[in-house]
Amino acid sequence: MNPTVWLIGAGPGDPELLTLKAVKALAQAEVVLVDDLVNPQVLEYCPQARIVRVGKRGGCRSTPQEFIQRLMLRYARQGLRVARLKGGDPCIFGRGGEEAQWLSDRGVACEIVNGITAGLAAATSSGIPLTLRGMAQGVTLITAHSQDETTPDWSGLARSGTTLVVYMGVAKVQDMSSQLLAAGMAADTPVAMIERASLPEQRLCPSSLAAMARDADAFQLRSPAILVIGQVAACRMFGIADAPPLAEPAARPLRRQA
């Protein structure tokens, strides 16, 4: 099966959270289709490539999914090395599965390059571990804004005892809070709402399950944001932010072995 498209996770924002594999693929791409949520600094790794912006955020909801897929297919059939850059990871709320399947059905293979998902980076950079012995035995990544109009089973989630990490939840904070309270989750369950995860302008709004709607409002919380709900949200692995910035290392090969 040939040609090939790379579906690349650009990570949460900080360009240093790109993987070596992503950098390697970007360096070889001839056309790069870029989503809105991707930090433009990431494009410094593919100065040779033609950049096509295919974001779907904002007022005009411009580029339909079908059009993006057809565009990838057309470039791939022209024999170009095509990369598609998505925020976070392509297969966690990124439609990577759909796109890979659609392209595969038309004879185009995909290579998926994992990225650090925004929920993980948001928590870590706020000093919150997603799992912690004796406190959170697991973590659930969920979206409040589903594309197929179904809602998560908040009651099952409340009972699961896992840390809940909610993507695309800013518009549904009140609803989420009510549902989880109704499902029996404690009103004082800690919540952390994190705007623009991993970027210098990241903001953290600490709250609780009962107060999160009011607090988000007072904080003027805006998308993109990640909501962390669970006991670990009260953790602040203190001292993290005080780490000195990393200096430039000596030049090193991206990979040693064949």
Residue 61 near a copy of itself by CB under 8 A: no
What angle do the packed helices 96-105 and 65-77 form, to 10 degrees? Answer: 50
CA angle 8, 12, 16 (to 5 degrees): 80
Strand partners, 11: 88
Which of 36, 152, 203, 219 binds a copy of itself (CB under 8 A)? It is 152
Do 12 and 117 form a contact (C-beta atoms < 8 A)? yes
Stretch that binds a copy of itself, among 32-40, 53-61, 138-146, 209-217 (CB under 8 A): 138-146
Q: Does 156 bind a copy of itself (CB under 8 A)?
A: yes
Nearest alpha-carbon partner for 166 in 235, 234, 92, 98: 92
State which amino acid sits at residue 106. Answer: R
Choose which of 69, 162, 189, 207 interacts with a copy of itself (CB under 8 A): 162
The amino acid at residue 198 is S
Rounded to a whole number of angstroms, the minimum distance from the CB of residue 116 to a copy of itself is 5
Longest dimension (CA), the chain: 57
21 binds a copy of itself (CB under 8 A): yes
Q: Does 155 bind a copy of itself (CB under 8 A)?
A: yes
- Please give the residues from 62 up to 121 whose contact with a copy of itself meets the rule CB under 8 A: 89-93, 95-98, 100-101, 103-105, 108-112, 114-117, 120-121
Candidate segments 12-20, 54-62, 174-182, 212-220, binder of a copy of itself by CB under 8 A: 12-20
Q: Show Cβ contacts of residue 105 under 8 Å, excluding neighbours closer than 6 positions.
A: none
What is the C-alpha separation between 108 and 26, in angstroms, rounded? 18
41 is a site residue for a copy of itself (CB under 8 A): yes
Rule CB under 8 A: choose which of 67, 153, 174, 182 binds a copy of itself. 153
Binding of a copy of itself by 209 (CB under 8 A): no
